[in-house]
Amino acid sequence: MMNMRFPRHIFCTLLLLLAGAAGAFAASVTFNGATLPVQEVVPDKSTGLNRIYVTYDMRGLSLTYHASGNGGNVTFYRYSSLGGGYAEQLSGIVASGNDYTLPNPEGEMGYIVEEGTDRYYFWLTDYSQHRLYLKGASLPEEQDCSMTTLNLQGSGSPIHFYSINGRQFTLDQQITVNYYTLDYDDEARQYNQVTESKNLESFSEHVYITPAPLCNTTFHVNGDRFLRAWNWEEEVESPTFRTNAVAVHTYAEQTPESTDPDYRSNQIGSSTSTGELGGSAPAEITFTAVCSDAVVHHEWQFSTDPDFSNLLYRFNEREVTYTFREEGTTYVRYIGTNAEGTCEAEGESFTVSIGASDLKCPNAFSPGASEGVNDEWKVSYRSIVDFKCWIFNRHGRQLFHFTDPSQGWDGKVGGKVVKSGVYYYVIEATGADGKKYKLSGDINVIGYKGLGSSSSSGTETTE
């Protein structure tokens, strides 16, 4: 065996040509005398290696390189963590036709087989120096809200290998930790139990599961990939983990009280048309929280500021329906906590804005003249929380009375459309901003088609 050091400039050139050379010829390596089948791993191209071979141990092992038959001389080199630039040439190679056998190879080493201008690079690992043993799994009593700690009893060291330029890599042993958690289905608005898996590259006494499982579960640990291939897989299971982690999803829905598409069509700046929360008072909104298993305490908070430093109301429920009747902006959020109050989850914050009140009255309409076109007398309004309207004929007789500003008068009395002419309205109303309205004026009932309404010619007083 003789030492050989590639000149650095030549070795760097080899690295540049490596990617093309790796698949350019049909060479291969086999092993003889292995205790268990040697496992072959295809490494990332960035390592510069064609293969990684993992043997259970080195007892009675030899390796044979099967040349491509291109007629070039075959030379073996071996390198350590220093990389291929410090490789040493190996002697004692036994040749037989196109087969070249290296007896008693050394584990935890890289090898370069040079055949003419072609090169085959591989790393040989002695698994017995890293063997995984799993003896048990336990759970610390104190657990974090966002991360769960799992303690493993056993042993096993990381399997390192080195690229041809001396860079250290770790071979993924694929030790798996399987457990249950909850996954949120936004369409169904519910949490569903799912299986989650965490991969461990190598054995560790402390395993951190992030995020923490959202339901009670056990942790099932098995591995590794090599023991699995040899049917010697190690397995352990933890005691039952009692989750304290919490998660929530929140919703706010403001829908009309009626399915009629014309409902509140006369409302100015209706929130149902803009998609925003609030708009015109009274605005009834339902706030709903969908929670994970560990949430026990519920609280919806209403505040005058986005930092929630000045709380107006607190509701200890998962679902709250509230009617906003006052002008201004209210911020709403949900907080859910576990039984001990040690873990907390906050839902999305919602902003509800109620606009200033407004009330306008038309002075003409044409009932019965053209169906669906100006055939109902309605006010235009926003944020009116109290409303009374009376309709009179010219002799002062009351014809109609209603208390919902979204409603109106269809121009009928006793089921029949009134005669054309002038009628009168009187309105008393209160806005969400406290403004008082006293309106009165005339209503022109038009008995022929085509005349639209104009602005009100009535009188208005406000307080």
Domain membership of residue 85 (yes or no) is yes
Domain membership of residue 222 (yes or no) is yes
- Looking at the fold, whether 221 and 257 belong to one and the same domain comes out as no
Phi and psi at residue 371, to the nearest 5°: -60, 130
User: Where residue 269 sits, what CATH number does that domain have?
Assistant: 2.60.40.10
**Cβ atoms 133, 142 nearer than 8 A:** no
- Looking at the fold, whether 114 and 148 belong to one and the same domain comes out as no
Residue 278 has pLDDT above 80, yes or no: yes
- Looking at the fold, whether 148 and 110 belong to one and the same domain comes out as no
Domain's final residue, options 237, 256, 274:
237
Per residue in 186-226, pLDDT tens?
999 999 999 999 999 999 999 999 999 999 999 999 999 99
User: Where residue 45 sits, what CATH number does that domain have?
Assistant: 2.60.40
**Cβ atoms 442, 457 nearer than 8 A:** yes
- Looking at the fold, whether 268 and 346 belong to one and the same domain comes out as yes
- How far apart (Å, rounded) are the C-alpha atoms in residues 346 and 357? 33
- Looking at the fold, whether 210 and 289 belong to one and the same domain comes out as no
Mean model confidence pLDDT for the chain = 88
Q: How big is the CA angle at 309 (ends 295 and 248), to the nearest 5 degrees?
A: 20
Indicate the pairing of strand 88-89 with strand 2-3.
Answer: antiparallel
Per residue in 319-369, pLDDT tens?
999 999 999 999 999 999 999 999 999 999 999 999 999 999 999 999 987
The per-residue pLDDT for 257 is 56
Higher pLDDT, 152 or 460: 152
Query: What range does the domain containing 447 cover?
Result: 358-462
- Looking at the fold, whether 316 and 364 belong to one and the same domain comes out as no
Per residue in 224-274, pLDDT tens?
999 999 999 999 999 999 999 999 999 999 977 544 556 677 887 654 445
Domain's final residue, options 182, 206, 237:
237
Domain membership of residue 164 (yes or no) is no
Domain membership of residue 90 (yes or no) is yes
Per residue in 437-449, pLDDT tens?
999 999 999 975 4
Quick one: what percent of the chain has pLDDT higher than 70? 87
- Looking at the fold, whether 118 and 7 belong to one and the same domain comes out as yes
The long-range contacts involving 231-237, CB below 8 angstroms and separated by at least 24 positions, are 234/132, 234/133, 234/134, 234/154, 235/134, 236/134, 236/135, 236/136, 236/137, 236/152, 236/153, 236/154, 237/137
- Looking at the fold, whether 380 and 362 belong to one and the same domain comes out as yes
Q: Does the N-terminal peptide bond of residue 7 adopt cis geometry, omega within 30 degrees of 0?
A: no
Domain membership of residue 224 (yes or no) is yes
Query: How far from 254 is each of 57, 242, 267, 327, CA to CA, in Å?
Result: 69, 37, 15, 17
Domain membership of residue 293 (yes or no) is yes
Domain membership of residue 287 (yes or no) is yes
**Cβ atoms 438, 463 nearer than 8 A:** yes
- Looking at the fold, whether 198 and 288 belong to one and the same domain comes out as no
pTM listed for this prediction? 0.78
Q: What is the mean pLDDT of residues 7-27?
A: 45
Domain membership of residue 40 (yes or no) is yes
- Looking at the fold, whether 271 and 215 belong to one and the same domain comes out as no
Per residue in 165-178, pLDDT tens?
999 999 999 999 99
- Total structural domains within the chain: 4
